Amino acid sequence: MLTRALFLLLPAIFSLALFLSAGLLFLVEPIIAKMILPLLGGTPAVWNTCMMFFQAVLLAGYYYAHISGSKARINRQILIHLVVSVAACAVLPISISRHWAPSSEGSPIGYILLLLLISVGLPFFILSSNSLLLQKWFADTGHPSAKDPYFLYSASNLGSMLALISYPTVIEPYFRLAEQSRAWSWGYVVLLAFTVLCAWLTRKYLVPEGQGTGNSEGAACIVADSPLPLLRRCSWILLAFVPSSLMLGVTTFLSTDVAAVPLFWIIPLSLYLLSFIIVFARIPAVVHRGMLLLMPLSVTALIVVTFSDLAIPKWIVFIFHLVNFFVYCMVCHGEIARSRPATHHLTEFYLSISIGGVLGGIFNALIAPVAFSTVLEYPLVLILGAMLLPVRNRKTIPVPRRWKEGLLYVGIPLVLVLLTYWFAKTLRADSLSLAAIAALLDVKTRTLFLIGTFGSLALLCGALVFLKRPLLFGIGIAAVLMTLVVSKDLDRDIVHRERSFYGVLTVERTSDGEFMSLYHGTTLHGKEWITPDKHSDPLTYYHPQGPVGQVFSEFSGDRRKTRIAVTGLGAGTIAAYAEAGQEIDFYEIDPAVRMIAINTGFFSYLTDCRARWRIILGDARLTMTKAPPHHYGIIILDAFSSDAIPVHLLTREAVALYFSKLSPDGVLLVHISNRYVNLAPILGRLADDSGLACMISSDREELGNEKSASTWVLLARRETDFGALARSALWGKIRLQKTVKTWTDDFSDILSIFKW
């Protein structure tokens, strides 16, 4: 009876093991990231090295599983894998010693790789290989489901998705880093027990070699004994590349061009994993066919929403991009699942998918920031995905008529380019007699014009699908999309644009020709008058009538602070407040921002500065440790107005560092303006925890293009250090919230401060 029950439970046991393995794999990365951040900072050298390390180990794990699963007999596979899995317990619980911090000179890459390899390399390697090996073991059993074991990949991706969602919502808010590490280590031990159980069940119900069918039910296209065609392997890699790249591309595009929302990356990654769960869960074929029909509609609708200048709320724009991304994932991953091979090729199949995913990540994270000055990779991969749209019942063209076919592939895109440019740049709503129709439909004439013109472009692109010619739909999308991308920039007076590993930086002259502005994505990082006699006037968040102006007015003349530190350079606006005899140190992590700020053709705040100044490149928390004790009179933190909240700059340990560098009567001024999170309770809690005085000023007044609303927090050792500001009606106390806890290097909770 027990033997029969175990046999029936084989799919459930293997699914649980794969679910746990994938969950642990996705949890270890944010845990290690939180351990590394205070120690090494957030420079590109750190994050790119970590990404490359995890991708390399993931591929190594897949390759090990492929070699082991295809070359070694099952008993040897089991023995080797269990020995290596047990050996990985030697590094538990996972931790990083502060003694491993790299020296301040030279490249930190070697230190980081060695640190990661020793601390988490072997467990991550085991978890990477588990997904393939456990499926291979199950395929070797005599269970009826073993003929098509690919459904287990759904369990694996479900574990990944739940781990991804649970970390910021459940684990991070309630458990400190040391507790997370211990819990993860116990989870690994439980997984090891499951692995041993799966190994035992595999041997118990092993089908003798040569007696199994060796073919999956879903893909008899490749029999067990035949080699995989190179074209098939390349198609898997390409189909995996597109969703992987789009996942990063849509995240960067929406954060850069629409709205910078913290933790937004969780949504695209969850949709990416969800598509894997669905397509490998033996869904009806009609679902995949439906996605093939939906994809042309979704991408053409996306073009209308993104480029038509219709007054569409941002949340609807977000939904359109995410829905289109999910449809792309379902089509590409659906094609991968539909063409899955016989189980004999299982490990090579997953290895190909992994290679495509890794290449997508490398393209977006490493190549695109160097090759493109904007987030161009997003529309490019949208075009590539459109070209990969499967064409059913494609037309066969006789050889004598192929020259006409070539003209079709050239003529249609050319017509679309001309139409698109005409609609976007030349044709105007008042040139068409639309008033009567607009009144009948109760819409604005311009709205009707935009819907009609861009809608017709979308219909023309969508109609190309029905011509049943491979690539033609993608080429049509390329013609329209790239023409719109170029024409959109022609409407702006862009003086300079470049892209670093931190995002897209744009120096733009306003349409009235009065101001020069610096944008990081959609976030304004500085503005200056173009008129020479107004160059030294601080604007936007730093306006003299705002909180910054009040602080510098209080600490001026005889009360001025000799030395000032500013984290976050921007356009260098703070330099406008400096007086002769003062010194300002700007701590800036992005070298591209430095080059823009010192370029007199863009901004002159630094060149006009009356004080001595210098720019110190690197992570502010790490580089500030080199400053002498009690060196600064004012430290200004201005790094919390984008989508990525640098948590390590707002912890108990970070505040202790700042005050160790502040003079006895020094003050810490923090800029916390943000559309999506409220950092005031965090700073209030940190002040209360450290016994510091704390005040806040929320300035809601805006004066045209010169002054922006902003919120600033001021901290000092004693309230008397605030001077007259302590009695100002413009500054008040921060109300503590019981739900907000003190952030430390091993604890933070961004969700608790979201503006829901």
pLDDT value of position 493: 84
- For 147, which DSSP code? G
Does residue 669 lie within any of the structural domains? yes
3-state secondary structure 572-609: CHHHHHCCCCCEEEEEECCHHHHHHHCCCCCCCCCCCC
Query: Has residue 260 been placed in a domain?
Result: no
Token digits of residue 227: 């080699």
Report d(CA 704, CA 118) in Å as an integer.
56
Confidence of residue 438 (pLDDT cuts 50, 70, 90): low
DSSP strand E in 638-692: where?
662-671
pLDDT in tens, 289-316: 899 989 999 998 888 888 877 777 777 8
Amino acid, single-letter form, for residue 234: C
Confidence of residue 274 (pLDDT cuts 50, 70, 90): very high
Q: Which range among 33-47, 182-196, 245-259, 388-402 has the greatest average pLDDT? A: 182-196
Instruction: Enumerate residues 6+ apart whose C-beta is below 8 A from 672.
Output: 640, 678, 679, 680, 683, 711, 712, 713
Can you tell me the mean pLDDT for 438-460? 67
Residue 402's pLDDT band (boundaries 50, 70, 90)? low
CA distance 201 to 195: 10
Element (H, E) at 487: helix 472-490
Which secondary-structure segment (H or E) carries 696? strand 693-699
**CA-CA-CA-CA torsion sign (332, 338, 341, 343):** positive
Residues 461 and 609 in one domain: no
> What's the pLDDT at 44?
58
Q: At residue 474, what is the residue type?
A: G
B/e letters for 667-703, b = 16+ CB within 10 Å, e = fewer, are bbbbbbbbebbebbbbbbbbbeeeebbbbbbbbeeee
How many structural domains is the chain composed of? 3
Q: What is the mean pLDDT of the chain?
A: 84
Pairing mode, strands 523-529 and 515-520: antiparallel
The CATH number assigned to the domain holding 189 equals: 1.20.1250
> 537, exposed or middle or buried, with CB in 10 Å at 0-12, 13-18, 19+?
middle
Task: Assess whether 558 and 613 both reside in one domain.
Answer: yes
- State the amino acid at position 509 in one-letter form: R
Radius of gyration from C-alpha coordinates of the chain: 29
Which range has the worst mean pLDDT, 95-109, 262-276, 356-370, 624-638?
Answer: 95-109
Q: Does the pLDDT at position 148 exceed 50? A: yes
Distance CA 562, CA 628 (A): 14
Last residue of a domain, one of 441, 470, 491: 491
Give the separation between CA 504 and CA 189, rounded to whole angstroms: 44
SS3 state at 749: coil
d(CA 295, CA 324): 7
Beta bridge partners of 669: 636, 714
**536 Cβ partners below 8 Å, 6+ apart?**
576, 605, 608
Predicted pLDDT at 593: 92
List C-alpha distances in Å: 649 to 31, 116, 175, 451, 753. Answer: 18, 23, 20, 46, 16
188 found inside a domain: yes
Do 176 and 60 lie in a common domain? yes
Residues 457, 591 within the same domain:
no
* Residue 245 lies inside a defined structural domain of this protein: no
Q: Is residue 306 part of a domain?
A: no
Q: Which of 491, 514, 540 is the last residue of a domain?
A: 491
Tokens 């602070």 belong to which residue? 561
Residues 721, 693 contacting (CB under 8 angstroms): yes
Q: What is the mean pLDDT of residues 490-516?
A: 85
For residue 238, CA distances in Å to 210, 243, 244, 327, 360 come to 33, 9, 10, 16, 9
| pTM of the full structure | 0.84
Which single residue is written with the structure tokens 């490990």? 347
Give the residue from 195, 211, 227 where a domain finishes: 211
d(CA 723, CA 718): 10
Residue 666 · residue 278 · CB < 8 Å? no
Domain hosting 170: range is: 1-211
Residues 376 and 504: beta-carbon distance below 8 Å: no
Q: pLDDT at position 220, please?
A: 41
Closest-CA residue to 161 (of 310, 277, 255): 277
Residue 3 burial class via C-beta count within 10 angstroms: exposed 0-12, middle 13-18, buried 19 and up: exposed
Per-residue pLDDT, 104: 47
Shared domain for 476 and 618, answered yes or no, is no
Judgement on whether residues 459 and 579 belong to the same structural domain of the protein = no
Pairing of strands 612-617, 583-588: parallel
pLDDT tens string 62-77: 999 989 888 888 889 9
Residue range 348-371: mean pLDDT, rounded:
88
Token pair for residue 513? 């020709």
Does the pLDDT value for residue 336 go beyond 70? yes
Q: End-to-end distance of the chain based on CA atoms, in angstroms?
A: 54
> Could you tell me the CATH number of the domain that includes residue 642?
3.40.50.150
Q: Do 471 and 522 share a domain, yes or no?
A: no
152-204, pLDDT tens digit by residue? 899 999 999 999 899 988 998 889 988 999 999 999 999 999 999 999 999 88
Phi, psi torsion values for 133, nearest 5 degrees = -65, -40
Q: Does 533 lie in the same domain as 486? A: no
* Tokens coding 74: 């099952």
In this structure, of 56-65, 221-230, 231-240, the range with the lowest mean pLDDT score is: 221-230
Residue 503: name the closest of 235, 257, 195 by CA: 257
Give, in order, the Cα–Cα distances in Å from 143 to each of 76, 213, 593. 21, 12, 60
Asked if residue 576 and residue 429 are part of one domain, the reply reads: no
In a domain, 71, yes or no: yes
434 pLDDT above the threshold of 80: no
Cβ-Cβ contacts under 8 Å for 602 (sequence gap 6 or more): 495, 496, 507, 516, 518, 571, 596
The helix/strand/coil state of 140 is: coil
State the DSSP string of 18-65: HHHHHHHHHHHHHHHHHHHHHHH-S-HHHHHHHHHHHHHHHHHHHHHH
Tell whether 236 is covered by a domain: no
Same-domain pairing of 10 and 101: yes
Q: What's the CA gap between 208 and 635, in Å, rounded?
A: 72
Nearest to 751 by CA among 261, 271, 321, 269: 261
Do the domain assignments include residue 536? yes
Is residue 480 domain-shared with residue 516, that is, in the same domain?
no
Look at residues 78, 94, 87, 86 and name the one whose alpha carbon lies nearest to residue 34.
94
Structure tokens, 607? 């060149």
Tell me: do 536 and 429 sit in the same domain.
no
CA–CA dist 589, 644 (Å, integer):
13
Whether the ω angle into residue 93 lies within 30 degrees of 0, i.e. cis, is yes
Q: Name residue, tokens 């940190």.
A: 686
pLDDT attached to residue 239: 95
